Structure 1
Amino acid sequence: MTIKYAAYEEKYKGERAVWLKYDRYEAVLLPELGGNLIAFRDTVSQYSLLREPAEENMNDFKQNPFEYGIPVLFPPNRYEDGKLAWNGKVYQLPVNEPATGNHLHGFLHAVPWTVEHYEASEWESSVTISVKVAEGHSVYDHFPHSFTLRIRYTLSSLGLQQQVTVQNDGQDSMPNLLGFHTTINVPFVPGSTAQNYRLKLTIGERRELSSRQLPTGKFQPLTAEEVQMKNEGVYPFFAEMDNHYTSEPQNGRNRMELTDTANDVTLVYDVGTAYKHWMVWNNFGREGYICPEPQINLVNAPNVNLPAEEIGLIALEPGEIWEETSRLYILHR
């Protein structure tokens, strides 16, 4: 008998995992390894949409989680000398990228998350996880704010939905700095090749980055291939990319489209318009996977002297909640 829908706990390569199933879709979440949604699959077409670690690569995944699944970045990307300026104070984050002397990618990808609830019904299968930071939590030592970050993943006939909320539980204003290092297989269709793929992304302008990979405040002209990426789509490995862009929604939506032209199938990653910035990393231009990374804020935002609205430097006042919804789904052309 075919299982139409389910939500349950079962090991994933030796690790605690919550599995979701709904019709042709399957997803796996690892709560104790940073709340990473490590797998999203179409079991009928045999599409493996997110990059998963092989059994022998689990240690690599634990040491370097950014190249697998959907790691949570809070705060996302780089902060100069590990410093994060906010409301007249300067927080010192660990300098964990020796090559640039910066802090990289925050803390929540490396801490265990709480599984609040999972369930399945004829309409959907879902799991809700959270991290509650307060005094005494390891994150609070470097980012002294009390807050709760909660993510609900839902599988349904509409694909995989991600609903994120951040609530300020403290008594002071806090910066809301969030992104996702989403890692997508290229190709995701069995038997296809990366040469068949075209990447379209709702980018606006490209930020100039310094030798330390920090924004200079200037923009650079888009190359011909980047213009293609913005419009009809481009081969995802046309050049090495570790690029920072503003987002520019098209037709009211802020999203990536990755199309397998040989099989007329497109993976859509609609991230919502609250993510005003994209990082794009393509593994040094090597075929295999690409990371379209939606971010609320500009890289190094609290340390950049530009208008808060422009750089996505969002303040959450005590008790306030920020929320956004994203979705991954398949289109057959």
Structure 2
Amino acid sequence: MTGKQAYQDTYQGEPAVWLKFGRYEAVLLPEVGANLIAFRDVERGFALLHEPTQDEMESFKARPFIHGIPVLYPPNRFEDGKFPWNGRTLEFPVNEPATGNHLHGFVHSETWTVEDFGATATESYVVASLRVNEQSEVYKYLPFRFTLRLRYAISDLGLEQQFTVINEGDEALPCLFAFHTAINAPFVPGNSAKDYRLKLTIGERWHLNERMLPTGEFQPLTANEQLMKGEGVYPFFESLDNHYTVAPQNGRNRMELTDTKAGLTLVYDAGTSYKQWMIWNNGATEGFFCPEPQVSLVNAPNTKLPADEIGLFSLAPGEIWQERARIYVK
């Protein structure tokens, strides 16, 4: 047993907050977007999230999208870097030349403030926040005043994420968020990804054009996608960079990854505020994949689809939005 601890140290040379509780440990990197870079079952030797090696740290910090749990705001792609909002159009840098789009927003690499950390009889936890105002780099592109707050806790029940958004400005704030969560497959040492089956609470698959932007139409699910929605499918059955609506099952929006050999299932219960899923599996390369819970449709402000159907949410001045997620093994 590792005891119950929360302390500041380093991870691969990067300032970090470490959490330990019973069989679990987790690591948060406040200076790299408050990315929860590691969640491990140390008793069984499971690394549940895709972590960077020492050699990958510089490339990870330059593009922190395929390790840990990066925060995307605003999430995914925006056509020509344009973000129409309340009668004006915000201009984002086009940072994906292949598509001519802006990709993944502005908070994943910012330095967040560690507000609190500690250990109690029931959990070890850390709270980090990012306050955006006129003095912030983020404000150049998102000229709103707001605070993002992440609370991670580990306990006998696994990892809990609590995400809070507070509109501290005097106009409506776009509330479009996602997490580019990177899950190891396999997560049991020595086992094969071929033994793994993925389930995801998807509804319909959006048709994406050659720029990876939704056309507003749906495509029929393939037989393998029907398995992903139902009894489960090998996560690397083909190259995936797909966008789906959420269809909660049994009241929950979740991913389940089962190691059929070990008889264990990793559950990622993302919360029903997220109306869309992205899934990306690195060109069908075994090792890890990213099930990404996303509040809104890709490119949502540039579409003419009904706002409530595509998760195009806003927060009025003084309003607060919050959602919880949990990762655990059963």
TM-score range relative to shorter protein:
over 0.9
Q: Deviations over 1:244-266 (max 9, x none)?
A: 00000000010000000000001
Aligned to 1:159: 158
- Please tell me the residue identity of whatever aligns with 1:80: E
Aligned to 1:296: 295
In 1, distance between residues paired with 2:304 and 2:54?
Answer: 45
In 2, distance between residues paired with 1:110 and 1:153?
Answer: 18
- Please tell me the residue identity of whatever aligns with 1:163: Q
Q: In the TM superposition, what is the alpha-carbon distance from 1:136 to its structure 2 partner?
A: 2.1
- Maintained 8 Å contact 2:266/2:327: yes
1:70 has 2:69 as partner: yes
In 1, distance between residues paired with 2:209 and 2:313?
Answer: 24
In 1, distance between residues paired with 2:192 and 2:153?
Answer: 30
1:1-333 to structure 2, matched below 5 A, reads: 2-331=1-330
Tell me, which stretches of 5 or more residues in structure 1 are unaligned?
Answer: none
Q: In the TM superposition, what is the alpha-carbon distance from 1:153 to its structure 2 partner?
A: 0.2
In 1, distance between residues paired with 2:291 and 2:47?
Answer: 17
In 2, distance between residues paired with 1:315 and 1:39?
Answer: 31
Q: In the TM superposition, what is the alpha-carbon distance from 1:134 to its structure 2 partner?
A: 0.5
Identity in percent: 62
Q: Deviations over 1:125-173 (max 9, x none)?
A: 0000000000121111111110000000010111000000101000011
- Maintained 8 Å contact 2:2/2:23: no
Q: Deviations over 1:35-66 (max 9, x none)?
A: 10000000011000001011111112112210
- Maintained 8 Å contact 2:47/2:184: yes
SS state at 2:44 partner: coil
In 2, distance between residues paired with 1:14 and 1:168?
Answer: 34
SS state at 1:140 partner: helix
In 1, distance between residues paired with 2:54 and 2:104?
Answer: 25
In 2, distance between residues paired with 1:183 and 1:207?
Answer: 22
In 2, distance between residues paired with 1:175 and 1:55?
Answer: 36
- Maintained 8 Å contact 2:207/2:218: yes
- Please tell me the residue identity of whatever aligns with 2:36: L
| Count of paired positions | 330
In 2, distance between residues paired with 1:61 and 1:175?
Answer: 27
SS state at 2:238 partner: coil
SS state at 1:61 partner: helix
SS state at 1:11 partner: strand
- Please tell me the residue identity of whatever aligns with 2:54: E
Task: Indicate the larger mover: 211-220 or 50-59.
Answer: 50-59
TM-score by length of 1: 0.98
SS state at 1:108 partner: coil
In 2, distance between residues paired with 1:54 and 1:3?
Answer: 23
- Please tell me the residue identity of whatever aligns with 1:8: Y
In 2, distance between residues paired with 1:153 and 1:110?
Answer: 18
- Please tell me the residue identity of whatever aligns with 2:174: P
- Maintained 8 Å contact 2:67/2:182: yes
Tell me, which stretches of 5 or more residues in structure 2 are unaligned?
Answer: none
- Maintained 8 Å contact 2:205/2:221: yes
In 2, distance between residues paired with 1:169 and 1:272?
Answer: 24
In 1, distance between residues paired with 2:285 and 2:51?
Answer: 17
